[in-house]
Structure 1
């Protein structure tokens, strides 16, 4: 399992380097990365561990963001690692605010699927705030289970 952590760390580091190289002044990596791993037993005493991690790269000027995912699957028997596969990429998402400004952003993923999960995996929430005005928007995005995401955002009121 030590190999999984090393490869996962290397991929995460490459995402951070890529985000910094894009434009240091306009793109920021969210502070809320998560990783979840699952294990499975296959026929013939093979063990498979699959780890997924998500991160968000945010344009602080336009409020557009990218949802990035990296997956690592490791298969081994009792003596050696048989196969390691990785996959990942970033998907561009729409603006949170219509006008350009100076924004802050954070995001979090849903917990892995469990018996309390109604819609299954794939949901996340994002929060963005305008650094120049008292303006905060919270959004929840979930999978509809029908091949499309449902996204609703709400502007926060201050009392």
Structure 2
């Protein structure tokens, strides 16, 4: 009976340890989501509207984040909705700071492509700060127009 109790106690301790490790990372949804929509005309008087929205999920301990996108495309004629398609996914990005701490994060998207857009779909900016130290890093990612993104981060100085 005592070996069973020891085994049960050990299993309970392992479970509680794993649960506390799993709970150690805190994920936050950034409140600065954007949406951009466009319209198109197709042959046969079909109208298509496509909307995209982006959001960011941030790990406040490790400073890793994911950029999430959802897209909805609606095709209609003058009388009815013909087709609706939706998809979405999140892409994990590298950590902003090397060491674990307790961080804050914000992000913003550029405007959709227009006459002021030199490189196509534009890009996004992210800001992260250490909640325990006066440490802030700003990062900008833009589309190069050559199929790859260019990303740079700068540590802020305080004067």
Q: TM-score, normalised by structure 1?
A: 0.83
Counterpart CA distance in 1 for 2:148 and 2:77 is: 38
Q: Secondary structure at the match of 1:41?
A: strand
**Which residue is equivalent to 1:26?**
26
1: CA distance, partners of 2:138 / 2:75: 39
The equivalent residue for 1:128 is 128
Structure 1 residues 122 and 87, CA, compared in 2 at 3 Å: closer, same or farther? farther
TM-fit CA distance, 1:87: 1.2
* Correspondences of 1:105-116 after superposition (within 5 Å): 105-116=105-116
| Structure-2 separation of matches of 1:79 and 1:72 | 20
| Superimposed CA distance per residue, residues 60-79 of structure 1 (whole angstroms, 9 cap, x where no aligned partner) | 00000000000000000111
Name the structure 2 match of 1:56: 56
Larger Rg: 2
In the alignment, which residue of structure 2 is the partner of 1:152? 152
Structure 1: gaps of 5 or more residues: 1-21
User: 2: distance between equivalents of 1:114 and 1:65?
Assistant: 28
Which residue does the alignment assign to 1:102? Answer: 102
Output the CA distance in 2 between the equivalents of 1:133 and 1:99: 12
Give the length in aligned residue pairs. Answer: 138
